[in-house]
Structure 1
């Protein structure tokens, strides 16, 4: 393999080709005009052909110089991108998400870690459903928008769809849930202090909200689902968020009805900077996971 010219000389050639002037190239490279001229002359000697026509009013590329310039410029661009990409990959992506999202998001990020061990992600959870990128130093966030209306800025992951869930044992025996009336014999588990989710679903199902006698309230969806999986009541949750529990058989749906609330989950990037290549790749991958689950 023929020995390649030194990188500094090739870099000087690229800058000089962009300027077509030794003086301006020297200013950009922070060296003297003589040093630029010597590096170009040495490069031409090693290659065996001229790269520039020396003219009274400046420089112009020779035929060989014109053939060489775009390829060498592209090579330096690739080197720069590789260095930037390598430095980005060593810095974990900072992602924020509401606690209600963890049951869906955390297993996905663990899977991502196995697929991309060199693209670390750090997840921060919060009871808040939004993010303030002006005050919070996150690269991206999953947010919940409870109100129906135009789509928010960002990637739409999935719509909220509420449905009751319980342990498989509650579908059998004398306490089996076969109708709305059977819910009276069980503790209803609420993922928040208000009864909003159960009220939405019962109204849509034609149930009587006033018949709810036993209730237990939790601060997070995850706690409500954990208690439900242990057979200690019937919880209400977002079908998309608990999809893995349903597939694994830890939870079952005693009713087929899923109601859309108008709420939805989105993934937003910080507007401070352009998304890095790892962040773009992660967001595209999470979007694909959400689409596959919805299909």
Structure 2
């Protein structure tokens, strides 16, 4: 009897079967298109038959592939139910969090643990911005995306935390303002721009609000996560674009400064989500209420700061 394929590979198959496109499946899984293609090819070689027919406009399931979809979906749902039931008895809340949000989440969770040691919360950082509760061992997750993405997830409760609002930030010693002059993007010329995304979309969105069509500096470094870009900015390595909610504590402690008054909503948001079934435990309900309260405090402080400036 052949050994079973890994759950990761089977999950990749289900996502490809849903999207019928390697590139779109890669976006969902937060991996490269090549990695998805290799996993499917490896699975087909392991099974000894084709799962998809490659066509000019995408993919189509073979008869063998179509027969696998429903049983695997059911199996993942059963695994998810089993993990949820066992986890509900463990006394520990397991929360998935994208690395970009850890800067805001982790200090608050540690403070919560100190104030209420009976409420144990275990936060796991991930480069993924989403969650698959049927296949992942988490009680709740913080997800990032455009409004409506979290709400469209089936069978989950959604708590909106805050919207992403962008502005440039850097180490205080890196910024030398011109005397009696309001800063403009021209002041960024010659500085190294730190990009938290490969496509530079955050910088371009903020600059577009100033009427700039391109970048004011040719010096650039690219990162896979916002957290890495922020950490590099704190070291004085350049100017990054940051979410004011996520770096609120860093701004207040003056580890970084935001030299420009303009703050631009990106259209994305952070939400806390968890499955509707089984019903959330009292601990999870308390955690959700507490996190909503923390997010409300952050929004209020930033609103007051924005009005003052």
Which residue number in structure 2 is paired with residue 134 of structure 1?
134
Which residue number in structure 2 is paired with residue 112 of structure 1?
112
User: SS of the residue aligned with 1:110?
Assistant: helix
CA distance in 1, matches of 2:133, 2:171: 39
Question: 1:170, 1:177 within 8 Å by CA — same for their partners in 2?
Answer: no
CA distance in 2, matches of 1:94, 1:150: 19
Which residue number in structure 2 is paired with residue 20 of structure 1?
none
Question: 2:207, 2:215 within 8 Å by CA — same for their partners in 1?
Answer: no
RMSD of aligned alpha carbons: 2.4
The answer to whether residue 211 in structure 2 is matched with residue 206 in structure 1 is yes
Gap regions ≥5 residues in structure 1: 1-86
CA distance in 1, matches of 2:141, 2:94: 8
The answer to whether residue 185 in structure 2 is matched with residue 167 in structure 1 is no
**TM-score, normalized by length of structure 2?**
0.63
Which residue number in structure 2 is paired with residue 97 of structure 1?
97
CA distance in 2, matches of 1:265, 1:284: 15
Which residue number in structure 2 is paired with residue 191 of structure 1?
196
Give a deviation string over 1:3-22, Cα, whole Å, max 9, x none: xxxxxxxxxxxxxxxxxxxx
CA distance in 1, matches of 2:201, 2:207: 10
Shift of 1:179: 2.4
Give a deviation string over 1:200-253, Cα, whole Å, max 9, x none: 010012234143301101111111111101111000011111111111100110
CA distance in 2, matches of 1:155, 1:177: 38
Residue correspondences, number: 209
Judge which range, 88-97 or 240-249, deviates more: 88-97
User: SS of the residue aligned with 1:254?
Assistant: coil
Give a deviation string over 1:163-213, Cα, whole Å, max 9, x none: 100111123378x99321111121000112120100101001223414330
Shift of the 200–157 alpha-carbon distance from structure 1 to 2, 3 Å rule, reads same
Task: Give the 5 Å matches for 1:1-295.
Answer: 91-146=91-146, 154-172=158-176, 178-295=183-300
CA distance in 2, matches of 1:172, 1:145: 35
User: SS of the residue aligned with 1:105?
Assistant: helix
CA distance in 2, matches of 1:127, 1:289: 23
Higher Cα Rg: structure 1 or 2?
A: 1
User: SS of the residue aligned with 1:141?
Assistant: strand
Gap regions ≥5 residues in structure 2: 1-86, 301-309
